[in-house]
Amino acid sequence: MKSIPEIQQEIVEEFEMFDDWMQRYEYMIELGKSLPLIDEKYKTDEYIIKGCQSKVWVHADLNEDKIEFTADSDAIITKGIIAILIRSFSGQPPQEILDADTSFIDKIGLKEHLSPTRANGLVSMIKQIKLYAVAYKAKAENS
């Protein structure tokens, strides 16, 4: 299993192959199509991430001490962004997720999506992913 920094580096290298923003966006849209989709039963207000102009749902399950994320969005670019995040975090132990940084988003030329005031909710998505990690870590320590 690759570590989070290794996966992030892999994504950065993939995006470096593209010369312009348009190709990067097209690739991101492609990645969105491979997103592990959330079970329809979780596409409710309870799992929705606030702060997005588009709708984003994220769900997490613990599978042998590792967190598996699934998600979906009604906007295709947003779906691409969440796919990149999930690829980097899914299948990792809670502590690794909590320690991980997200500056690779900047390196793949999506810096504009990192602004907390931007209505795409990327920052809220990261926060939600980390909250799941906190919750599963606490659960593991208590059991």
Binding region for another protein (CB under 8 A) out of 10-18, 22-30, 42-50, 94-102: 22-30
What is the distance between the alpha carbons of residues 73 and 15, in angstroms, rounded to a whole number? 22
Helix (H) or strand (E) holding 57: strand 56-63
Nearest-approach distance from CB 54 to another protein, in angstroms:
5
Give how many residues touch another protein by CB under 8 A.
15
**Contacts for 103 with CB less than 8 Å, ≥ 6 apart:** none
Q: Which of residues 29-88 bind another protein (CB under 8 A)?
A: 29, 53-55, 74-78
Q: Cβ(127)–Cβ(85) under 8 Å?
A: no
Q: At what angle do helices 76-89 and 4-16 cross, to 10 degrees?
A: 140
> Closest distance between another protein and the C-beta of residue 83, in Å?
14
**Among the residue ranges 5-13, 20-28, 57-65, 130-138, the one whose residues contact another protein (CB under 8 A):** 20-28
Rg (CA), the chain: 15
Cα 102–chain centre separation:
10
Q: Is 22 a catalytic residue?
A: no
Q: Which of 35, 38, 52, 108 is catalytic?
A: 52
Name residue 101's beta-bridge partners.
Answer: none
Stretch that binds another protein, among 8-16, 23-31, 92-100, 133-141 (CB under 8 A): 23-31
Binding site for another protein (CB under 8 A): 21-22, 25-26, 29, 53-55, 74-78, 119-120
Catalytic residue IDs? 52
